Amino acid sequence: MLGTVLFLDLLVGIWLHLHAPQWITWFLTHIPVLGLAAAAWGIASDEGKDRFRAAVQRLLQHRRSSQGLVAIAGAFVLFTAFCSSVQVRALDSGVRTRLRLVDGRPSRDELPALRSAPSRIFNHLTNPVTFSVAILPIGRRMWVYDGRLASAPHLVAPWVPTRLTYPDDFDTLATLMVLPPPQMTGELQNFTPTLTIRDGHDTSIVLASAQLSRGLAFGFPDVSRGDSADARLRAKAAAYHLKDARERDSTAAGASSANVAVTMQLWTPAEVVLTRRPLVVNDLLRWELRKQNGRTITDTIRIAHATEYLFLAP
């Protein structure tokens, strides 16, 4: 029975060290208590020691005590098979964000899990953040994100904590904004072309498809819709009109603020299209645009920024 007590004590200590380090100090308080007990034992009378030995011997020989201790040890082992943890540690002490632990894989099909995902404030006071997770003995696949960064899905298994380093183990989430040229406005009134986004490495995987009636913002789960005050967008809108003006041997009036404003209304706010999986920086994508004459224009784009622009040619 004494061996069972020591085994249970060791088991609990190891599990708390791995999955709940914030509780390990509280757990270790029994060590100084044992030290005080040893000191008291040294000054106790022989008669008192004999009575204590006899009481402990009766307890150890009691069948129900042994069965109860074995049952406690078995229950704890069973508990550890259904409980694990995900731990996120930040390298930057100045980090300030909110982390979400999401069940399953990053996919638009998992939106209910995303909306109900538990969250934790992540800053220098809470670093590292620990999520306690109920699992099956075969494990449970989960991922972490904070609106800007997302981790890959990890299999959370019993006993072994899943440890992530922020931001090294995370990818930067991205939005792909597809913007039609203003010269396409007339065509859009008669026919709405279809734009398809595919995985650049495996083109059989369709990430999203939508009607290009205005600016489109592709991404998941958080998508930027664009800003009408974006200087880069306004400069590109002006460039479209300047080109038209030059081709007509006209003046730069084609790039008037009124024309730019109309183009910005076409582009922003963009219509949000959720992709099959998150888009991340360095993603390679293939896009296909099916036009009114049945011709399909296709090309690839490498996402280099958190908001990447695809300006379609006139």
Residue 312 has pLDDT above 90, yes or no: no
The reply to whether 302 and 197 lie within a common domain is yes
> Could you tell me if 209 and 265 lie in one domain?
yes
Q: By three-state DSSP, how is residue 17 classified?
A: helix
Same domain, 250 and 180: yes
Are residues 195 and 296 both part of a single domain? yes
Question: Which of 168, 188, 210 is a domain's end point?
Answer: 168
Domain identity same for 197 and 263: yes
Task: Find the domain containing 196 and state its range.
Answer: 173-311
Q: Which residue has the tokens 């996919």?
A: 107
| pLDDT (mean) for 12-24 | 75
Q: Are residues 66 and 14 in the same domain?
A: yes
Number of domains present in the structure of the chain: 3
- The CATH code of the domain that includes 103 is 2.60.40
Tell which of 43, 58, 81 closes a domain. 81
pLDDT of residue 311: 92
> Residues 13-33: what's their mean pLDDT?
67
Statement to judge: residues 153 and 195 lie in one domain = no
Least confident of 19-33, 128-142, 144-158, 219-233: 19-33
Specify the pLDDT at position 242: 75
Per-residue confidence at 34, pLDDT binned at 50, 70, 90? very low
Q: Quote the DSSP letter at residue 307.
A: E
- Between CA 207 and CA 176 the distance in angstroms is 12
pLDDT at 93 (0 to 100)? 83
Is 236 in the same domain as 280?
A: yes
State pTM to two decimals. 0.77
Among residues 130, 147, 168, which one ends one of the domains? 168
Q: Are residues 305 and 184 in the same domain?
A: yes
pLDDT tens per residue across span 53-90: 666 666 566 666 667 777 887 888 898 899 999 999 99
Same-domain check for residues 132 and 197: no
End-to-end alpha carbon distance in the chain: 83
Whether residues 24 and 59 share a domain: the answer is yes
Please state whether 282 falls in left (phi above 0), alpha (psi between -120 and 50) or beta: left
- The pair phi, psi for residue 94, each rounded to 5°, is -90, 10
What pLDDT score does 139 carry? 94
- For residues 116 and 149, membership in a common domain is answered with yes
HEC readout, 153-196: CEEECCCCCEEEEECCCEEEEEEEEEECCHHHHHHHHHCCCEEE
Region 33-38 average pLDDT: 49
Is the torsion defined by CA of 240, 246, 248, 252 positive or negative?
positive
